[in-house]
Amino acid sequence: MSKHVTHWINGKPFEGTAERRGDIYDPAAGVVSGSVDFASSTEVDAAVAAAKAAFPGWRDTSLSKRTAILFRFRELVHRHRDELARLISAEHGKVVSDAAGEVARGLEVVEFACGIPHLLKGGFSENVSSRVDAYSILQPVGVCAGITPFNFPAMVPMWMFPVAIACGNTFVLKPSEKDPSASVRIAELWAEAGLPEGVFNVLHGDKAAVDGLLEHPDVKAVSFVGSTPIARYIYETAARNGKRVQALGGAKNHMVVLPDADLDLAADAAVSAGFGSAGERCMAISVVVAVDPVGDELLAKIKERVAKLRIGPGDNPESEMGPLVTRVHRDKVASYLDSGVAQGATLAVDGRETPVLGGGADGFWLGPTVLDHVTAEMDCYKDEIFGPVLTIARVGSYDEAMGLLSDNPYGNGTAIFTNDGGAARRFQNEVEVGMVGINVPIPVPMAYYSFGGWKASLFGDSHAHGMEGVHFYTRTKAVTARWLDPSHGGVNLGFPTNG
C-alpha cells in the first residue's frame, strides 16, 4: 500500500490539501513507495504561526518541567528505536543496524539536553562596583528552523531540536523530502512525551518550503545541514534576512596512513568508513592518502576486505551495505568510475559487478568501488561523490599528504593512522579541518562536544550541539543591578567605571 506523509503542525497532522507532492522511493526495489506533501506559503505560515504562538508559554515553562518532558521523550525514542530504524531504512536504503546507530547517536544529544538546567546557568559577580552586582542570563531566541539532509533523517535533526527546545525555543523542522517519515514519528513521540502543541512542527517540501522559512520575519534562527552550495545559499539568504544562521556543508574526508601505521587497522578503518551507509555519510572517508611505501600493501588489504562485503536490502540482516538513495544519485556516483579511469585512475574494485543479496533488479545498487592512483586534478578527487567510492592517493611524504589536505576546499573530518605520537600531535595541530581522528576513522564528536567542519564545510561560526549549540539557541543578557541604599551617590555624568 502506498503511504502518504504530511506536515505536523500545532501538535497534529496538517489537514489541508497539498498543491504539490513528491515521490518517496523504496531504494532496494527501485519503486515509488509513497508520496510526501510539499509546503507552499500557506503551510509555511501555519507552521511558523503555531511555533510563534507556542513560544511565550514554552519560554516561561520551568526548567524542571521542560526537563521532565525531555526525559520522557528520551525514553520514548529509546523504546521505539527499532521502529524508527526500520522507517529510515525503508526510505533511505541504509541497513537497519546502521539506522539504529544513527538513532542512538541522536539520542545522545537528547541526553545532553536533559542536563539543560546546568547548561543554562549564567554567571554572577557580586560587588563589581560598590554595592553593584553583575550577572548574565541565557534566554531563548524564539522560533528556530532546522533544514536537514537525506543521509541522517533522525540524527541530524536531533543535533538541533533537542537543544533548541530545551533552551526554551520553538522549532520548525524541514527534513529531507527523500525520507520524511522518521521526522513525523518523532513529532508523535514528542506529543506523547507531553510537549505542548506548536513547540515542535514538521514542514515537508523542497526549495519553496525552505525559502518560505528563510524569508519569514518570525523565524529568528536557522540551522542547516546539507551540501556546500545549498549551505552557502542558506547562510547568505538567512543572514540577509537578519537571522542568526549556522550552515554545515559537504565534505571530502582524507585518511592519511603513515608508513609506521598498523595496516590491518588502517584497512579495516578505510573499508568501514568508506562503505558504511554506502558512503552517504558526511564523515565517510573518501580519500585514503597512502604515504610511501604503504600503497601496495594497504590496497591489497583493502581489496581483501571489500571482497567479503555483503550488499543487499536494508531490512535483510545479512546485508552490510544497502542501495543508494535515488536512481539519479546512483547514476551520478557511478559516472565517477568512468571519469576516474578516463582521467588516469586505476579501477581496483568495480562496484558495478558486485552481486546483490536479493532486492529488486531495479534497486539503486552500486557496490563498493576502489579507485587507485587518484590525483588532485581528477574529478573523482575534486568532487564530493557521496557514494561507495573509496579513492586512494599515493604520496611520497607526510608533507605531501598535508599539502593535499591544505589545498582541499573542504574541512569537515580527517584521520591519521600512525603509531608515532609526535606525528599525530603535529597533524592535529597543523590540519585545517574541524574534526580530527587519530587511529579513529569517523571522529564524530560526542554530544557534549560540538559537531562542525572548517572551510567550505561550514558557513557561520557555530557548530552543532554541545555548548556551541546552547550558545546558538540562546541570547545572552548581561544585567548590572544596584539596589539603592541611602549612599547611592546622586547624579554623575561620567562614564560608569568601577569604584
By the 10 Å C-beta count (0-12 exposed, 13-18 middle, 19+ buried), 213 is classed as buried
Residues 219-238 interacting with ligand NAD (rule: CB under 6 A): 225-227, 230, 233
Nearest-CB residue for ligand NAD: 226
User: CB of 56: closest distance to ligand NAD in angstroms?
Assistant: 29
User: CB of 467: closest distance to ligand NAD in angstroms?
Assistant: 17
Contact criterion met (CB below 8 Å) for 132 and 482: yes
Residue (283 or 321) nearer to ligand NAD, CB: 283
Q: Give 188's contacts (C-beta < 8 A, 6+ positions apart).
A: 8
Binding window for ligand NAD (CB under 6 A); candidates: 32-40, 70-78, 204-212, 361-369: 204-212
**Residue 304: what are its φ and ψ, rounded to 5°?**
-55, -45
β-pair type (435-438, 12-13):
unpaired
Contact criterion met (CB below 8 Å) for 149 and 102: no
Residue 206 in the binding site for ligand NAD (CB under 6 A): yes
Residue (207 or 488) nearer to ligand NAD, CB: 207
Contact criterion met (CB below 8 Å) for 99 and 89: yes
Residue (147 or 395) nearer to ligand NAD, CB: 147
Binding window for ligand NAD (CB under 6 A); candidates: 101-109, 189-197, 206-214, 339-347: 206-214
Residue (412 or 418) nearer to ligand NAD, CB: 412
β-pair type (200-202, 346-349):
unpaired
Residue 457 in the binding site for ligand NAD (CB under 6 A): yes
Binding window for ligand NAD (CB under 6 A); candidates: 81-89, 120-128, 246-254, 373-381: 246-254
Backbone conformation region of residue 344, classed left if phi is above 0, alpha if psi is from -120 to 50, else beta: left
Distance CA 165, CA 218 (A): 16
Residue (386 or 472) nearer to ligand NAD, CB: 386
User: CB of 32: closest distance to ligand NAD in angstroms?
Assistant: 18
Residue 111 parent element (H or E): helix 96-113
Residues 44-103 interacting with ligand NAD (rule: CB under 6 A): none
Distance CA 462, CA 469 (A): 7
Q: Which of 114, 167, 282, 380 is catalytic?
A: 282
Helices (H) and strands (E) in the chain, counts: 16, 23
User: CB of 434: closest distance to ligand NAD in angstroms?
Assistant: 9
Contact criterion met (CB below 8 Å) for 464 and 458: no
Distance CA 70, CA 430 (A): 40
Among 249, 279, 437, 466, binds ligand NAD (CB under 6 A): 249
Residues 477-496 interacting with ligand NAD (rule: CB under 6 A): none
Residues 338-397 interacting with ligand NAD (rule: CB under 6 A): 384, 386
Q: Which residue has the cell 500500500?
A: 1
Please tell me whether the peptide bond between 293 and the residue prior to it is cis, using omega within 30 degrees of 0: yes
Residues 289-308 interacting with ligand NAD (rule: CB under 6 A): none
User: CB of 250: closest distance to ligand NAD in angstroms?
Assistant: 3
Q: Give 233's contacts (C-beta < 8 A, 6+ positions apart).
A: none
Amino acid in the structure at residue 129 = S
User: CB of 190: closest distance to ligand NAD in angstroms?
Assistant: 20
Let me know if 167 is a catalytic residue.
no
Residues 388-447 interacting with ligand NAD (rule: CB under 6 A): 412
Among 158, 160, 282, 433, binds ligand NAD (CB under 6 A): 282
User: CB of 21: closest distance to ligand NAD in angstroms?
Assistant: 14
Would the CA dihedral through 485, 490, 491, 493 be positive or negative? Answer: negative
Among 177, 179, 320, 372, binds ligand NAD (CB under 6 A): 177
Three-state secondary-structure class, residue 451: strand
Residue span 137-166 as binding mask against ligand NAD, x where in contact by CB under 6 A, dash where not? ----------xxxxxx---x----------
Residues that bind ligand NAD (rule: CB under 6 A) add up to a total of 28
Amino acid in the structure at residue 277 = S
User: CB of 57: closest distance to ligand NAD in angstroms?
Assistant: 29
- Please write down the HEC assignment for all residues of 379-421: HHHHCCCCCCEEEEEEECCHHHHHHHHHHCCEECEEEEECCCH
**CA distances to 86, 138, 200, 408 from 63, in Å:** 34, 13, 17, 44
Binding window for ligand NAD (CB under 6 A); candidates: 71-79, 242-250, 261-269, 340-348: 242-250
Residue 251 in the binding site for ligand NAD (CB under 6 A): yes
Residue (29 or 208) nearer to ligand NAD, CB: 208
- The residues assigned a catalytic role are 282
Q: Which residues are at the interface with ligand NAD (CB under 6 A)?
A: 147-152, 156, 174, 176-177, 206-207, 210, 225-227, 230, 233, 248-251, 282, 384, 386, 412, 453, 457
